[in-house]
Amino acid sequence: MNKRARMRLIGVTAIILISVIAIVVGVGASDGSYSRNVSDVVGNDELAGERVRVTGTVIPGSWDKKSSPMRFDIRDEGATEGPYISVVYNGPVPSTFGDEVTAIITGVIDADGVLESEDMITKCPSKYESATGALTVADLLAEGEGVIGKSVRMTGFVATGTIQPPGGAVRFVVSDEGGSPAVDVFYDGALPEGMVDGSQVVLGGFLDEQGVFDAVNVSLSDTEQ
């Protein structure tokens, strides 16, 4: 192949590559696959009626799973103040959804600036804590009324098939190794990344009068790393 032919081939190849990249980018933009920050979306009238993907942190107390459709607010990932966007969500709620979880939501911005969606995934926090000094489930239950309402740390193993989306009376069940005894756990926050059936977890919270452990934080045991 002479030099002129080789240069022509390189030029044609470059044009093809540029065209392919343009097509991929165009398709990505049209189906909302390019994720935007909340601050990029709020007040942007050009996005009205457009399908977008927005990543943000769920604002604590802004949601009610029992509402239909579910409504909640998000702001820029990791931010505790600043602009926020309201979401109307009609899809299945991920079991990891909760206060301060990072949600990636794909939907359409309506004329009022509300993000209407049926497509959401969540990113879970990765958090580990030592179980040293934490009560076992048996220890907790043995305390009886003496521990009700008192702040304690407890450790146990997630019972198979019990992890549920937030908003219900029970988020999951933990038991001592071997499956007994067990206690129901209420928790509305984000579950740690990697928490699955059988994971050892460390919980902070208190036992209520109904025998449910009301957790204020949930971590994986550092033995799960």
Helix (H) or strand (E) holding 159: none
Q: Structural domain of residue 162, as residue ranges?
A: 128-224
Using DSSP's 3-state secondary structure scheme, residue 137 falls into helix
The least confident of 28-32, 43-47, 152-156, 207-211 is 28-32
Domains: count for the chain: 2
173 and 107 both lie in a single domain: no
Is residue 167 a part of any domain in this protein?
yes
**Cα gap 129→77, rounded to integer Å:** 24
96 and 145 both lie in a single domain: no
**Cα gap 155→200, rounded to integer Å:** 7
Quick: pLDDT tens for 180-219: 999 999 998 889 989 999 999 999 999 999 999 999 899 9
Cα–Cα separations (whole angstroms), residue 174 to 6, 94, 115, 125, 203: 68, 20, 36, 20, 10
136 and 215 both lie in a single domain: yes
Cα–Cα separations (whole angstroms), residue 120 to 139, 140, 211: 39, 37, 33
Are the CB atoms for 121 and 193 separated by under 8 Å? no
pLDDT value of residue 6? 54
The average pLDDT across 130-147 equals 93
Is residue 102 a part of any domain in this protein?
yes
Q: Which residue has the tokens 């794909």?
A: 106
The average pLDDT across 13-34 equals 46
Is residue 3 a part of any domain in this protein?
no
For the domain that residue 135 is a member of, what is the CATH number?
2.40.50.430
109 and 137 both lie in a single domain: no
Is residue 4 a part of any domain in this protein?
no
**Cα gap 88→144, rounded to integer Å:** 43
- The reported pTM is 0.64
Using DSSP's 3-state secondary structure scheme, residue 199 falls into coil
Quick: pLDDT tens for 165-178: 888 899 999 999 99
CA dihedral 19, 20, 23, 26 (to 10 degrees): -100
| Residues 6 or more apart whose Cβ sits within 8 Å of residue 47 | 41, 109
**Cα gap 49→30, rounded to integer Å:** 12
